[in-house]
Structure 1
Amino acid sequence: MRVLLGLLLAFVPAAPAHADNVEPDHVARAAAIRPDDPGYAGQWGIVRTRVNEAWSSGRGNARVTIAVVDTGVSRLPDLAPRMLPGHDFVNDDDDPTDDNGHGTMAAGVAAASGYNHTGIAGACWYCRILPVKVLDAKGAGSYSDIAEGIRYAADRGATIINLSLAGVDDSQQLRDAVAYADEKGSLVIAAAGNEGASRPDYPAAIPSVLAVGAVDEHDARYSWSNYGAGWVDVTAPGCNPAQQVNGVIGQFCGTSSAAPLVAGIAGLLASTDPVPTIAEVRRALVGGRVDALRSLAALPYAGDTVKPTVAFGATPSPARGVVTVSAAAADQHGIARVQLYAGGRLVGSDAAAPYTFRWPSTTGTVALDLRAYDRAGNVTQIRRYVRADNTAPALRVYPRASSVTARATDASGIARLELVADGKVAARYNGYLRWFGIPAHARTVQVRAYDRAGNVRVATVRR
């Protein structure tokens, strides 16, 4: 008997959003990556699940393939460079072009290229995409085609198999196909369904399938999302911007949208070293609303030899007084601690972002070293030379009856000279040498010299 599946889809065209064209911000309080893709400004789900923070330590790997078993996938510029040859089980040919739009949007949420001025930023930028068409132009398909599509993806080495589709009936045919994919080492992820019911939908309710429900920006379940602690394994943002087959960006809502976001995060996890097993990836994802950083930290890290990344934040030079030094650090399995050394001496150690240190600066050129340690003990050290100046400038004054000439010198350079009459600034000059006229009837007169580090020297001219 042929069983048809309802497609889980809501697509509302929207005016293109615009993000600032900026480079990744590597200071400690802004370590998350902000891509320049036009649709990124509306991708609250990426931020909510901390995928943008996980990008600091990895954005996927070409060894990981995400199979999109759906209505097909069109070769949009955001997807085409990483698309593998696929198959159409509806028309029995090798052209899995999308004639509906649903599969293309699912593929984009999972794996659209990021930071390329195009479309949106998918979760896994460098994962490959395997298009498998099992649903027709109306979004319906038979269990037999879906089962064949799952087996096809598994045979071609798909690491992740995304199924943004659901039916109300259980099926041994689907169970056998999922078991086959399990044996081949594929993680099958499926949408829980959009009836707002606790009744299980399939294939999501098959025990080894990772079933995904949908939540809003406050982590509350969308009223239309299916639910059930006994069979829904994880939730994810259920409304995500995506490109249709014509390239238009709009809201793609449903558990059909939540599932590929989890698939993309699974791709990030599978891209780490040492390579985790599919069972380890699944365990890291399960529970509550998906969180990319939490899931990365849950992976085993024994055997990890990949060093973390670390960068200085804004550090004043010349430095003066007690200076706040910030840092950003990232690692595929998490940062254990970051340390700051000044002139070879430990200033401080910080185990949680944002990484900040208070350094009592001295005078002269000082080597500042940042050391970042990951959970496996790998360490990365970087150095920055900072000139410290805590010495006031030299100042000479040449007073006359109604004027004064001031000359200041300092290794850091002079920022400005000020004439102060009766406690108020009467004149200011940005330079090191200046003649000032003294205001009539001024009783107290001083000259102040400021160096570029902010140190000040005061000379009294008249009392």
Structure 2
Amino acid sequence: MRVLLGLLLAGGAVLPAVPAQAAIEPVAHTDAVRPDDPGYARQWGITRTHVNDAWSTVRGSSGVTIAIVDTGVNRLPDLAPRMLTGHDFVNDDDDPADDNGHGTMAAGVAAATGNNKTGVAGVCWSCKILPVKVLNAKGDGGYDTIAEGIRYAADQGAAIISLSLGGSEKSQILSDAVSYADQKGSLVVAAAGNAGSPLPHYPAAIPSVLSVGGVDQQDHRYSWSNYGSWVNVTAPGCNLAQRRDGVTDEYCGTSSATPFVAGVAGLLASTDPAPTAAQIRVALTGGRLDALRSLAALPYAGDKTKPVLAFGATPAQARGVVTVTAAAADQHGVSRVELYAGGKLIGTDVSAPYTFRWQSAPRNGVVPLDLRAYDRAGNLTQTRRYVRADNLAPAVKLAKAATSVTVRATDASGIARLELVVNGKVTSRYSGSVRKFSVPARAKNVQVRAYDKAGNVRVAGVRR
């Protein structure tokens, strides 16, 4: 039986119907990551789904394989280093090159290398890619071939099997292949289809498959995306990806949303402890895709990976009340961050951005500031920074003469400036610690102000 798969490209143009028979490496970064790939600025889906925040702690793992069961995948520089050999079920050989372009773009959305100044940033940077060609140059394939591809991917140990294809009719051969993949521990992710219809689309509508619909930047369903209770999750339906010739283009449709979800599934599969396919499916199911929410939804019992933690904006010198910020991230979520000054707890914050207000007075001298971050499993990370507290005004000595005054100021933090104030008005300023100021002979009220580099001020009156 033949069924149709619609493929959308930039601008929403629909290509001719494509026949198909439907029978972590942990990293030590704490801020949202902004890779240097040329196309990243236009990849709105990454930030909208908080994938860039998830990258702070997990970007995939070489032990996790995502199978792209499609038209094949070309060995572009953004993909080749992590591509496995794969198989071509159309021509029955081990060269699953892409003669259509659909599969290469799907692979790029899921797992193009990020932060390499090339193309775009895929979702799962370190995941292996298994190319499985089941559709020919026209996008034509049969349920039996697709089923073979699913079984092959499962046998190769693929944690995630991404299917940007499907049709409107049920198929026992597809259901059996999906069941086989389930038993092997693979999560099958499939496109909901582009007919704008509530009618089930297969294999997406097979109960154990994670079915994916497409939404726009405002989380509104694209008019072309199928919908209904059988759709498990929605994801960005238009994403940048490299075509099979390496040119970057917009790639739209549930065919694009599906590998995006597959990439996030790869991130989840890369966490510690390794979740099952069923646990990943539950973590991803429901509403619009959110990578951080999905990570937090995974079971964390047995998690031994510590949070990553760093000081944010913290002054080198402290005077009075100062603000201290921290950046913290963890694969399963940070439960709290604490700030200590000189061993004393200053405050606790349970949500980002982690911000503390520390009253440094009356301290003077070097003070150790300690941050402690705890994840949901109780793993602890600590980091220390030394800050010089200066809450003491400068010392000032005056040498007076008939029409002048010489000021000498000293301070542990250094002198920022000296000012001469005559009758309530600043008449002279000097950047330094020693200065001879001229004083008007008939001035009634004369003062000298000395400011240190921490902002403390000493006011000394000049008696005439």
Q: How far is the alpha carbon of 1:436 from its aligned partner?
A: 2.7
Q: How far is the alpha carbon of 1:26 from its aligned partner?
A: 6.4
Equivalent residue letter for 2:368: A
Counterparts of 1:135 and 1:47, CA distance in 2: 32
Counterparts of 1:246 and 1:117, CA distance in 2: 17
Quote the residue 1:418 is aligned against: 419
1:6 and 1:140 in contact (8 A); partners too:
no
Q: Which structure 1 segments of 5+ residues have no match?
A: 14-23
1:22-33 to 2 correspondences below 5 Å:
31-33=31-33
2:394 and 2:410 in contact (8 A); partners too:
yes
2:69 and 2:131 in contact (8 A); partners too:
yes
Quote the residue 1:371 is aligned against: 372
Q: How far is the alpha carbon of 1:366 from its aligned partner?
A: 0.8
Quote the residue 1:283 is aligned against: 282
Equivalent residue letter for 2:53: E
Q: TM-score, normalised by structure 1?
A: 0.93
1:212-266 Cα deviation digits (max 9, x unpaired): 001111111111110001x100001111111112222222111111111110110
1:25 and 1:33 in contact (8 A); partners too:
no
Equivalent residue letter for 2:35: P
Instruction: Give the number of equivalent residue pairs.
Output: 448
Equivalent residue letter for 1:180: Y
Counterparts of 2:33 and 2:424, CA distance in 1: 49
Partner secondary structure for residue 165 of structure 1: coil
1:67 matched to 2:67? The reply is: yes
Q: How far is the alpha carbon of 1:133 from its aligned partner?
A: 1.1
1:94 matched to 2:90? The reply is: no
Equivalent residue letter for 1:117: K
Name whichever of 140-149 and 158-167 sits farther off. Answer: 140-149
Q: How far is the alpha carbon of 1:435 from its aligned partner?
A: 2.5
Partner secondary structure for residue 78 of structure 1: coil
- Structure 2 CA distance for partners of 1:437 and 1:130, relative to 1, 3 Å: same
Counterparts of 1:298 and 1:430, CA distance in 2: 57
Counterparts of 1:460 and 1:427, CA distance in 2: 15
Q: Which structure 2 segments of 5+ residues have no match?
A: 13-26
Q: How far is the alpha carbon of 1:34 from its aligned partner?
A: 1.1
Name whichever of 99-108 and 395-404 sits farther off. Answer: 395-404
- Structure 2 CA distance for partners of 1:410 and 1:72, relative to 1, 3 Å: same
Counterparts of 2:64 and 2:143, CA distance in 1: 26
Partner secondary structure for residue 217 of structure 2: coil
1:317 matched to 2:325? The reply is: no
2:51 and 2:123 in contact (8 A); partners too:
yes
1:7 and 1:166 in contact (8 A); partners too:
no
Q: How far is the alpha carbon of 1:304 from its aligned partner?
A: 1.0
Partner secondary structure for residue 107 of structure 1: helix
Quote the residue 1:140 is aligned against: 140
- Structure 2 CA distance for partners of 1:68 and 1:26, relative to 1, 3 Å: closer
1:170-181 to 2 correspondences below 5 Å:
170-181=170-181
Q: How far is the alpha carbon of 1:176 from its aligned partner?
A: 1.1
1:274-353 to 2 correspondences below 5 Å:
274-353=273-352
- Structure 2 CA distance for partners of 1:87 and 1:442, relative to 1, 3 Å: farther
1:5 and 1:139 in contact (8 A); partners too:
no
Quote the residue 2:116 is aligned against: 116
Name whichever of 444-453 and 120-129 sits farther off. Answer: 444-453
- Identity among equivalent pairs (%): 72
Quote the residue 1:357 is aligned against: 356
Equivalent residue letter for 2:215: V
Q: TM-score, normalised by structure 2?
A: 0.93
Counterparts of 1:213 and 1:462, CA distance in 2: 82
2:239 and 2:256 in contact (8 A); partners too:
yes
Equivalent residue letter for 2:255: S
- Structure 2 CA distance for partners of 1:262 and 1:441, relative to 1, 3 Å: farther
1:348-377 Cα deviation digits (max 9, x unpaired): 111111111111112111111111111111
Counterparts of 1:353 and 1:56, CA distance in 2: 13
Quote the residue 2:434 is aligned against: 433
Counterparts of 1:11 and 1:97, CA distance in 2: 23
Q: How far is the alpha carbon of 1:442 from its aligned partner?
A: 4.9
Q: How far is the alpha carbon of 1:410 from its aligned partner?
A: 0.5
1:289-339 Cα deviation digits (max 9, x unpaired): 011111111111111111111111111111111111111111111111111
Q: How far is the alpha carbon of 1:5 from its aligned partner?
A: 3.8
Equivalent residue letter for 1:249: T
Counterparts of 2:281 and 2:28, CA distance in 1: 31
1:5 and 1:142 in contact (8 A); partners too:
no
Equivalent residue letter for 2:451: Y
1:88-108 Cα deviation digits (max 9, x unpaired): 112222111112221111111
Equivalent residue letter for 1:460: G
Q: How far is the alpha carbon of 1:415 from its aligned partner?
A: 1.3
Counterparts of 1:363 and 1:120, CA distance in 2: 50
Quote the residue 2:387 is aligned against: 386
Q: How far is the alpha carbon of 1:25 from its aligned partner?
A: 11
Equivalent residue letter for 2:148: E
- Structure 2 CA distance for partners of 1:405 and 1:26, relative to 1, 3 Å: farther
Counterparts of 1:117 and 1:430, CA distance in 2: 46
Counterparts of 1:71 and 1:47, CA distance in 2: 28
Equivalent residue letter for 2:80: A
Quote the residue 2:254 is aligned against: 255
Quote the residue 1:150 is aligned against: 150
2:420 and 2:437 in contact (8 A); partners too:
yes
Q: How far is the alpha carbon of 1:11 from its aligned partner?
A: 3.6
- Structure 2 CA distance for partners of 1:190 and 1:279, relative to 1, 3 Å: same
Equivalent residue letter for 1:352: S
Name whichever of 79-88 and 432-441 sits farther off. Answer: 432-441
1:195 matched to 2:195? The reply is: yes
Quote the residue 2:18 is aligned against: none
Name whichever of 98-107 and 420-429 sits farther off. Answer: 420-429
- Structure 2 CA distance for partners of 1:119 and 1:443, relative to 1, 3 Å: farther
Counterparts of 2:166 and 2:155, CA distance in 1: 22
- Structure 2 CA distance for partners of 1:12 and 1:270, relative to 1, 3 Å: same
Q: How far is the alpha carbon of 1:167 from its aligned partner?
A: 1.3
Counterparts of 2:358 and 2:154, CA distance in 1: 55
Q: How far is the alpha carbon of 1:420 from its aligned partner?
A: 2.5
- Structure 2 CA distance for partners of 1:25 and 1:66, relative to 1, 3 Å: closer
Quote the residue 1:20 is aligned against: none
Quote the residue 1:81 is aligned against: 81
Partner secondary structure for residue 262 of structure 2: helix
